[in-house]
Amino acid sequence: MKLTFCFSPSCLAFVLLSTLPLWSQFTSLDRERADGILQGVSTDIRKDYYDPKLHGLDWDAKVVATKAAIAKANTWDAAMVEIAALVNDLNDSHTIFIPARTPIRVDYGWSFQMIGDHCYITRVKQGSDAQAKGLKVGDEVVILDGFRPTRETLPKISYAIDVLSPQTALHAAIRPPVGSTRSVEVAAKVTQPKIVNELEHPSGIDWQYFRLGQENHAHQMRPRFVEVGSDVLILKLPEFYLRESDVNDITNKAKKHSALIVDLRDNPGGAVETLQYLLGSVLDKETKIGDEVMRNKTDTLKTKNDHHNVFTGKLIVLIDSNSSSAAELFARTIQLEKRGTVIGDRSSGFVMEAQLHPRYEGIPPAVYATEVTRADLIMSDGKSLEHVGVTPDEIVLPTQSDVAENRDPVLSRAAELAGVKLTPEDAGKLFPYEWLPD
């Protein structure tokens, strides 16, 4: 089975469950379990990380220092933060610590992203505290939990509040399109599974709670299509988790049109096979995507395709600052092969190949995981996209007013390149965001 280029940390944190209680104190037994987790994380990285030299870090010394920091920690969360800081020293987008914590779901009710060099609120959930506090789509986030969001800091902030230590409230400084900056505290909606009779389920957890959450996420991540006239098909692809048959279905739809727009904005990546088949569906010959540089060998990653089922029409790919991993590899391959046009914003630069290592420590089990990079990806031009990203052929950035008014000039411009007229106002209505049910 092929590994994944990306596995969303927030999704991982939802799936990997722990039966840990909410501690009022940090006991010696808890400290021993935290030490065990540190050892498990360290072992997985030491054994499987693609660079055996770990970028020149004195890994053993850092592990010893982290163990000493855990010995001084006063809370479980503080101990988990120390382990996360150790992993962060590798400065690797796909080597991620998923801590053991109580199985809760935190819904902040609003989301944000970098557009160019500014962080804007892109969604506000109806009925949320964010809406009640007056947050609006298009407001600029100047400060978030004490930090100024930038392209470098926002991923770390998001990891902290979504995975490492979800918050009951977020503190922010917000600047609207018109008016002065104001400070606001926005409460999150926190839910957790029902604790059931252990005779009914050995773990004591209501697994239906999580099963429904996974099903809702799968629905949210489904591919969506819109036809613009008879000539243009727009594919909104939220992630790279498709079977070969799914890609063939997409190709068959696309072949009925003269142009295909593939919208990979907000796409965090996914499975290697999906990337191979999707690129194979738009390239009419086997094509090298890049080299997988692993610890002990280098493999060539190539497209996979049915040569009888290839879309050969005009191709336009959309990316933004949230396009990561396999989404970036798709866009860059299209550029290198001169197969189509990439437009939008510079992508995230999170491009490695990783494998998930789930583990548990103690009884009851403290479930945690480490996603470990097992290969760097060197493109056919000899360069890596890690920490670099993909620069579009044509940079098109929504303005703050565009975001506030739900206008999509990027998709509008793509339609123009495809030969049809689609206003930014109409483009903004094509793929409305679907909030997960409470």
Q: List alpha helices for 262-404, DSSP H.
A: 272-280, 326-336, 400-404
| Beta strands at 232-236 and 341-344: parallel, antiparallel or unpaired | unpaired
Pairing between β-strand 105-107 and β-strand 110-115 as defined by DSSP bridges: unpaired
State residue 113 phi and psi, 5-degree precision.
-160, 165
Higher-pLDDT residue of 414, 308: 414
CATH 2.40.37.10 corresponds to the domain 218-352+375-427: no
- What average pLDDT does the segment 383-410 reach? 97
pLDDT at 193: 63
Q: What's the half-sphere exposure (Cβ side, CA atoms, 13 Å) at 85? A: 13
Q: Exposed, middle or buried, 283 (CB in 10 Å: 0-12/13-18/19+)?
A: buried
Name the pLDDT band for 212 (thresholds 50, 70, 90).
Answer: low
pLDDT bin (cut points 50, 70, 90) of residue 305 is: confident
Please provide the CATH number assigned to the domain covering 105-191: 2.30.42.10
SS3 content of the chain, % helix, strand, coil (to 5): 30, 25, 45
Contact 169, 190 (CB under 8 A): no
Residues 6+ apart with CB under 8 A from 243: none
Domain boundaries of the chain, sorted by first residue: 105-191, 218-352+375-427
State yes or no: pLDDT of 315 exceeds 50: yes
Instruction: Judge whether 105-191 and 218-352+375-427 match in fold.
Output: no
Q: Which conformational region is residue 304 in: left (phi greater than 0), alpha (psi within -120 to 50 degrees), or beta?
A: beta
* Contacts for 230 with CB less than 8 Å, ≥ 6 apart: 257
In degrees, to the nearest 5, what angle opens at C-alpha 112 toward C-alphas 109 and 114?
Answer: 175
Integer Cα distance of 75 and 211 in angstroms: 30
Higher pLDDT, 365 or 326: 326
pLDDT in tens, 115-162: 999 999 999 999 999 999 999 999 999 999 999 999 999 999 999 999
Q: Predicted confidence band at 243 (pLDDT cuts at 50, 70, 90)? A: very high
Residue 8 has pLDDT above 90, yes or no: no
Reported as half-sphere exposure (CB side, CA atoms, 13 A), residue 389 has a value of 19
Give the C-alpha separation, 247 to 232, whole Å: 18
Measured CA to CA, the distance from residue 380 to residue 4 in angstroms comes to 20
CA 324 to chain centre: 7
| Length of the chain measured in residues | 438
- Closest residue by Cα to residue 395 from 112, 115, 111: 115
